[in-house]
């Protein structure tokens, strides 16, 4: 079983007839899923999603896959296959299509409808091909067959890729709910049939590989949601993903039973649920939906709101309610239902929102204290079933943090997959399939690409480091005025500090040290403004580190007069 290879160099050219797989995201993280398959000079892209930033990425809106590996080969891309409509699988498509708008998008009806609505905001009209389970389409060297899988969004698909150099089964995100709300099962008969044909490489969802047993059926949480609606005294505010059609359906059904009206809050929620309803994936009871602006006309015990913000996103509706920065004022007797799992890394943000809501007097119901959500991913028992049904020759776990990928690999080994055929790798590592065997061939650049406001790819780790220092350590500016003709300091130094409990007066202690350092420098003939700035930076930085035990951002400025 392979491991990370930080020493890897760029891979050699792919051998004739071989198949190359490069994940540009989704390995070692939950998000920005994107895999590039190469065969005979042509490329097939599977998914193109975003990763949502955490506290380590201040000011960043989204994180994209690194397209540099394919930027000069866009004409070689035969299609972008989208397994389902979640943001971590489709959210980066607009940014890739900015580079080449006519790249064909392939996916199910709902998936394409969601991405088309997103692309409309980017003023891109895509080329699309709608497919469904059982369909088989050829894109250049790639013969693709689509298989129904069950997930937390309707119309999800796995894709089986046939090439002259081998076959690949990519599950996308899936689980094996035997009582799905929409009646659409993961097609294990198709998995078995493809296994009989021969699966050379199995790329399978790892998110719940650490979880023993089987994922709870969606239908099992309906009683818990109904119970929330029966006992709520005032308004009910439900937070979930804006694409979670199944959960919204359950909330609509519960609201109808309890005689409540429902309003959608948030642009993405309104847009996505409108698309789902228009296509028949969401069954909206007659007369149950009301405009958000009409809520004031209804008694509180007849109101239900569905909004975004279940992951603690700062600008989402629920976070703003918790911070009293929203027109909906949460108060005593309101019930807030968080109908989602925690994405790894979001725990602190979600707990802050929960605490903020409870401080305002709301009752908060979440997965930790009630069964109000189930995962959309296969647990270990389901993955074992898949390995035994598919019987793959080689396995490459995808979609998960390192602990998920390793747990999934262990499951593959337990079912008898040859350890030499199990590759656990990180983003950018190149995996070649040649003569039925996988091997690590090298690595390509695959860093984070940040969306920061209107800029894409311009923010880098240096900028984020500066932002983290400003946030965590504070800021000091030091200004002096130098006579340009004599080179003598004629005014200052003047110190301004921000982010320090001690206040500016505390820096009076360092002033003699700073003046002495400047006098010594000018006495030795230092008149260059840059060198003087470094003298000030060292004098201030050393003192602050010893005295206050902080490492702030220090901005020295020499003004020549």
Residues forming the active site: 205, 377
d(CA 370, CA 224): 7
- State the DSSP H helix or E strand holding residue 363, giving kind and residue range, or none if neither: strand 363-365
Q: Is 242 annotated for ligand binding?
A: yes
d(CA 376, CA 155): 13
Is 248 annotated in some ligand binding site? no
DSSP per-residue letters across 108-131: -HHHHHHHHHHHHHTT----EEE-
Please check if 399 is assigned to a binding site. yes
In 142-197, beta strands by DSSP E:
142-148, 157-163, 166-170
16 labeled part of a ligand binding site: no
Known binder of ligand: residue 19? no
The answer to the question of whether 243 is labelled as a binding residue is yes
Nearest to 449 by CA among 63, 56, 173, 45: 63
86 is in an annotated binding site: yes
Pick from 152, 148, 111, 151: which is nearest to 128 by CA? 111
Q: Coil, strand, or helix at residue 525?
A: coil
| Cα angle: 422, vertex 426, 430; to 5 degrees | 75
Query: Dihedral of CA 463/466/472/476: which sign?
Result: negative
341 is in an annotated binding site: no
Q: State yes or no: 301 annotated in a binding site.
A: no
Which of 445, 497, 499 lies closest to 467, judged by CA?
499
Annotated ligand binding at 319? The verdict is no
Determine if residue 147 is labeled as part of a ligand binding site. Answer: no
Which of 454, 380, 406, 358 has the alpha carbon at shortest distance from 208? 380
Helix (H) or strand (E) holding 555: strand 553-560
84 labelled binding-site residue: yes
DSSP string, 7-38: T--PPPPPPTT-EEEEEEESBSBSS--EEEEE
* Count of beta carbons in the 10 Å neighbourhood of residue 121: 10
88 assigned ligand-binding residue: yes
Flag whether 280 is marked binding.
Answer: no
CB 457 within 8 A of CB 449: yes
The DSSP-derived string for 253-319 is HHHHHTT-EEEE-SHHHHHHHHHHHHTTSS-PPTT-B--GGGGGGS-GGGEEEEES-TT--TTSHHH
- Strands 437-443 vs 429-434: parallel, antiparallel or unpaired: antiparallel
3 is in an annotated binding site: no
CA 461-465-471 angle, 5° bins: 145
DSSP label of 392: -
537-540 long-range contacts (CB < 8 A, ≥24 apart) are 537/478, 539/510, 539/513, 539/514, 540/476, 540/478, 540/495, 540/510, 540/514
183 among annotated binding-site residues = no
Q: CA 326 to CA 25: how far, in whole Å?
A: 34
What is the DSSP code (8-state) at residue 104?
P
Q: How many CA atoms lie within 13 A of 342 on its CB side?
A: 15
SS3 39: strand
Q: Which residues are annotated as a binding site for substrate?
A: 242-244, 373-377
Q: Which residues are annotated as a binding site?
A: 59, 61, 84, 86, 88-89, 151, 173, 242-244, 373-377, 399, 452
Q: Which residues are annotated as a binding site for Zn(2+)?
A: 84, 86, 88-89, 151, 173, 399
């Amino acid at each position: 079983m392979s491991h990370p290879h930080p020493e890897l160099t760029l891979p050699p050219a792919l051998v004739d007839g071989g198949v190359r797989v490069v994940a540009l995201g989704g390995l070692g993280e939950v998000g920005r899923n994107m895999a590039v398959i190469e065969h005979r000079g042509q490329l097939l892209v599977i998914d193109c999603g975003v990763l949502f930033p955490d506290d380590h990425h201040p000011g960043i809106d989204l994180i994209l896959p690194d397209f540099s590996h394919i930027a000069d080969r866009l004409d070689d891309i035969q299609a972008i296959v989208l397994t389902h409509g979640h943001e971590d699988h489709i959210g980066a498509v607009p940014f890739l299509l900015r580079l080449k708008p006519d790249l064909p998008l392939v996916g199910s009806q709902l998936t394409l409808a969601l991405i088309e609505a997103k692309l409309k905001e980017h003023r891109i009209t895509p080329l699309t091909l709608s497919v469904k389970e059982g369909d088989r389409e050829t894109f250049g060297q790639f013969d693709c067959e689509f298989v129904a899988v069950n997930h937390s969004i309707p119309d999800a698909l796995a894709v089986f890729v046939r090439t002259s150099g081998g076959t690949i089964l990519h599950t996308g995100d899936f689980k094996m709910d035997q009582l799905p709300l929409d009646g659409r099962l993961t097609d294990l008969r198709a998995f078995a049939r493809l296994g009989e044909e021969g699966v050379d490489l199995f790329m399978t969802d790892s998110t719940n590989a650490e979880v023993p047993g089987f994922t709870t059926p969606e239908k099992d949480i309906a009683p818990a949601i109904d119970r929330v609606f029966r006992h709520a005294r005032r308004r009910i505010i439900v937070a979930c993903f804006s694409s979670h059609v199944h959960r919204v359906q359950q909330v609509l059904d519960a609201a109808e039973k309890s005689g409540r009206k429902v309003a959608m809050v948030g642009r993405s929620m309104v847009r996505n649920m409108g698309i789902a309803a228009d296509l028949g994936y969401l069954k909206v009871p007659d007369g149950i939906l009301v405009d958000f602006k009409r809520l004031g006309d209804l008694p509180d015990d007849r109101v239900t709101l569905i909004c975004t913000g279940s992951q603690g996103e700062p600008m989402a509706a629920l976070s703003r309610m918790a911070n009293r920065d929203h027109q909906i004022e949460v108060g005593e007797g309101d019930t807030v239902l968080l109908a989602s799992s925690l994405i790894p890394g979001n725990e602190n943000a979600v707990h802050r929102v929960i605490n903020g809501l409870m401080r305002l007097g709301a009752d908060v119901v979440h997965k930790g204290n009630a069964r109000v959500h189930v995962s959309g991913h296969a647990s270990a028992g389901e993955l074992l079933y898949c390995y035994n049904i598919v019987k793959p020759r080689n396995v490459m776990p995808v979609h998960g943090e390192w602990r998920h990928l390793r747990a999934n690999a262990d499951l593959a080994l337990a079912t008898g997959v040859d350890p030499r055929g199990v590759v656990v790798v990180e983003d950018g590592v190149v995996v070649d399939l040649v003569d039925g065997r996988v091997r690590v061939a090298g690595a390509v650049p695959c860093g984070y690409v940040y969306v920061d406001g209107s800029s894409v790819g311009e923010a880098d780790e240096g900028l984020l480091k500066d932002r983290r220092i400003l946030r965590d350590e504070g800021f000091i500016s030091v200004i002096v005025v130098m006579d340009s003709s004599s080179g003598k300091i004629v005014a200052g130094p003047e110190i301004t500090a921000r982010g320090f409990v001690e206040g500016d007066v505390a820096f009076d202690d360092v002033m003699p040290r700073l003046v002495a350092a400047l006098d010594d420098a000018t006495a030795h003939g230092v008149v260059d403004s840059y060198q003087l700035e470094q003298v000030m930076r060292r004098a201030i930085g050393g003192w602050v580190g010893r005295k206050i035990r902080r490492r702030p951002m220090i901005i020295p400025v020499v003004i020549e007069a």
